[in-house]
Structure 1
């Protein structure tokens, strides 16, 4: 049977996919057939004498095929489960589809997870990165491989693509990190220095459960011994622990083409990484695709797989399909009249930075002449129902406004405590209610900036020290609000909400009063990347 070809010219029309119907997903059990060879639990040797377990799916045809490495700490023995919201770890795509299109799949369990019971999991560290390198070189050397290896997968499976690429294995020919972060400290664990307790604790607990399946013997004691939650809590500041596990600091070492595909919905985890990853690899062929809708659901649609296959066909099969000559950026603009648009660069060159000042009557283009403040006392007596926030809104918009790119809030803050946590929500408010657009977080004690990495619209904080606040003194704090693309509708309002915490981050042991100052000496303002109509 001849392999299928979906690598024709032109970008694929990817539909907005809000989610799967219950129980529906393209991922499903794969079995050997007259066109597919399946080898389970192949032991892949590592340079230190250890091994990891791999399942190999490849065309039965007697020829050499490009390889897609699918690697993570999510056990491959669960790959039979459907990809839907019940199983957010099912992020591997449809192996039969890829084999039918002429690719071999090498699906590995990270060392110390799943069926790779030799050694201990290193949580994206140097050990796991070394194993990725060795897995790529092993796959390229197999008799059924053409010597070119790419990588496939979402989230964890995407994060390790960035990490593999910065280590430059010779046989890695391209990557396509879909929904994948690059900075464990800022993207996953400590948003603006505020601990992402909800995600970290739940994800770590799930990892342990995934590797301790019911009705099976318990795994060896070395499996899943890494204490994710404890280690992240103990490392409160950025430093060697995080930098060894984060591709961000070495993105300039990537030497292969990169298709960075992200989703606007993944604020608090991956969105920032896909955007920053693209920005910092201008020295290699690159594309950026930012999606709306549900990231997991979209990943398992055939149009998305066809778009990925165009990328892999170009760099793994040598197909001259012109994908690298197309506009490098494609974004889904959310809000009013949503849809995709091509761009020639990111950030968008025609962006007009627009400042909206905090005012007694809301948000406006002119700063108030006199000094004002609004305060929050905490915790509220009705904390479980309402944590409290101060809200600043524009007047009803007299025209549609598109905001696309990173966003910054400059806020003047004081407190009667040595610390002030700042949680920011940007929303669109209409007569029907409020829709969250994006969010940002920042600890005032970690307000120091790294100028070399900061831009007009994106502050970068080193998070390597804390400077307690002097009670009553006013401090200028720049808050990174995660990038988005959103068209606010005429007659609606842009709403900025400022709180001293939220439900997803560790609230801490605080009781006091924070004040937000604006006007006069304190020009607190929101900086928006407005795209002219």
Structure 2
């Protein structure tokens, strides 16, 4: 057992830990990390609603490394257990509730250098308040046996079995919660779908819902920004020799062989099939198996979700919330102005008014696990940051009853280089605008930061591309309102219904919804993407508000793909990812349409040329291209 002393093996991992933080920021568990804690911050005031956390029960923590957790098929997972301890480092002999984190990024790497960077506070906060924390390497990753296949049915079954194992251990009082971000947040949803004994509450940060539409292939194009980084990170951290190599050499060698097999039979072939237009480029059973939304139909475990308006799972986290709320689950959600790194760390969660991330987790678990009164009724179901005003807005539902559909018609003609057409609620003027897709669109935008998980913001936070989209908009077609005289507040998913024709029979429509300030600076609020050949709409799975489409659903299968014949004008519905924002008086609402969003998306190799040819966009009464917003 150790407290915070670093083992010799840990020192060999510091470089890998730094790389893990830089590449993904994905996902450091809040408690139990064994790196030195960051310097103590100044005491924060109580939460806005007046709630105060209870005092710590324990002075210290102690960790047991590389516990073996047997799965039902014989594969052994490895875990580190952190227990409350007295000032002398003696672990409590009283059973306590257990908080489980399941990671694919190697628990040892994270504990050797990443935890303090992204913990959002004292990494041992929850343990010192009377919880144990169990950090587990997922099958085929880190120190665990098996072949990694990223949320396969077998791995998802593991999540439930890990919870059941923690529930039955002598150091556990039988009650289990779960914490963690991104991959660890997704694992929580799959565990909840397995209904394991003892699971009382979960706290997923920035989790996905539908992995194909959320992140793998937004709008039908392949995510070449984040996905290669993610696959590389898991593979890299899985090839580090386990710390128990000296004591269990045969087991350690078997783990490394398993991980090499996983890289050769899963990661590399998957990437090749996607980029060459194979089955992995389309939606289907492979992605359904890996999408948490598919297992949430009857899940009612209390769930607190943290999401980001510039996050990889900007689309998915609200869908998880809505599914759980429809089931009657006690559920809360905070959506902040955060990218994936920021949402994973939770460092700014206190801005929402309910305490720091560790305090909010304590508040949640103390209520649902320990039965304490933490005044959860003071936290509304939805709290989101409103871009434009900077206000935190409260709502009972994600798309609440006070929202109504408002459509703005694209009007007249736009030209690349800064000539804007109109955006109006009145009758639109007919026009035809030609767009030549340029493979520089997207590079100088907040989208580039979003779809590389927040790395740009971390490395260069003062980058003007993160705050002004004006330069990027020159490579597309822009349509904007006159300066508004009354505030326009909108929240939820958005649809862009665009009439287009293409030279190559295909193309990608990258749509940005923006706020143009009186000084001409352009704030990118949100975006959406759609491959023209995948325009087939399924009304029964789409969302409407006041009879108007606000969230289209496309099949994205090989069978649904249909190129446009030359000269054919067709409507294409572009799902613009959900957000919350206000256009203040004197500002303009703008929509910009481009043919690329790099480094985010790129078509499979067979589609690269057709998708690089000119696209025409039509406006006016005969071809009513519109942007439809849920307006409050």
Range class of TM-score, shorter chain: 0.7 to 0.9
Equivalents in 1 of 2:443, 2:207: separation in Å? 33
Partner residue in 2 for 1:526:
627
Distance 1:382 1:126, change over 3 A: closer
Equivalents in 1 of 2:285, 2:344: separation in Å? 31
Distance 1:253 1:418, change over 3 A: same
Distance 1:204 1:455, change over 3 A: same
Superposition deviation, residue 215 in structure 1: 12
Superposition deviation, residue 443 in structure 1: 0.9
Equivalents in 2 of 1:109, 1:432: separation in Å? 49
Q: Which of 486, 494, 510 in structure 1 is aligned with 2:581?
A: 486
Partner residue in 1 for 2:139:
111
Distance 1:29 1:383, change over 3 A: closer
Following superposition of structure 1 onto structure 2, how do residues 118-517 of structure 1 map, counting pairs within 5 Å? Answer: 118-213=145-240, 220-223=256-259, 224-225=262-263, 226-227=266-267, 228-230=270-272, 232-233=274-275, 234=278, 235-266=280-311, 269-281=312-324, 282-283=326-327, 284-293=329-338, 294-299=342-347, 303-324=356-377, 326-336=379-389, 338-360=390-412, 361-368=421-428, 371-379=430-438, 388-430=475-517, 431-456=519-544, 457-464=550-557, 465-503=560-598, 504-507=600-603, 508-510=608-610, 511-517=612-618
Distance 1:380 1:177, change over 3 A: closer
Superposition deviation, residue 56 in structure 1: 0.3
Distance 1:215 1:177, change over 3 A: closer
The structure whose residues are more often helix, as a share, is 2
Superposition deviation, residue 380 in structure 1: 7.5
Retained in 1: the 8 A contact 2:186–2:208?
Answer: yes
Superposition TM-score, scaled by structure 2 size: 0.74
Q: Which of 84, 97, 100 in structure 2 is aligned with 1:66?
A: 97
Equivalents in 2 of 1:290, 1:523: separation in Å? 33
Distance 1:372 1:125, change over 3 A: same
The SS at the match of 1:113 is coil
User: What do residues 396-454 of structure 1 show as CA deviations (whole Å, max 9, x unaligned)?
Assistant: 11122222111111111111212121111111112151111101001111112222221
Distance 1:129 1:516, change over 3 A: same
Q: CA RMSD in A?
A: 2.8
Superposition deviation, residue 276 in structure 1: 0.6
Q: Which of 63, 67, 72 in structure 2 is aligned with 1:38?
A: 63
Equivalents in 1 of 2:303, 2:441: separation in Å? 48
Superposition deviation, residue 262 in structure 1: 0.8
The SS at the match of 2:165 is helix
Equivalents in 2 of 1:486, 1:259: separation in Å? 23
Equivalents in 2 of 1:325, 1:215: separation in Å? 45
The SS at the match of 1:220 is helix
Q: Structure 2: which 5+ runs fail to align?
A: 1-24, 38-57, 85-90, 246-252, 350-354, 413-420, 445-471, 545-549
Equivalents in 1 of 2:440, 2:541: separation in Å? 41
Equivalents in 2 of 1:197, 1:128: separation in Å? 25
Equivalents in 2 of 1:466, 1:40: separation in Å? 50
The SS at the match of 1:295 is helix
The SS at the match of 1:137 is helix
Superposition deviation, residue 43 in structure 1: 0.5
Retained in 2: the 8 A contact 1:367–1:523?
Answer: no
Distance 1:84 1:417, change over 3 A: farther
Equivalents in 1 of 2:207, 2:422: separation in Å? 36
Retained in 2: the 8 A contact 1:424–1:441?
Answer: yes
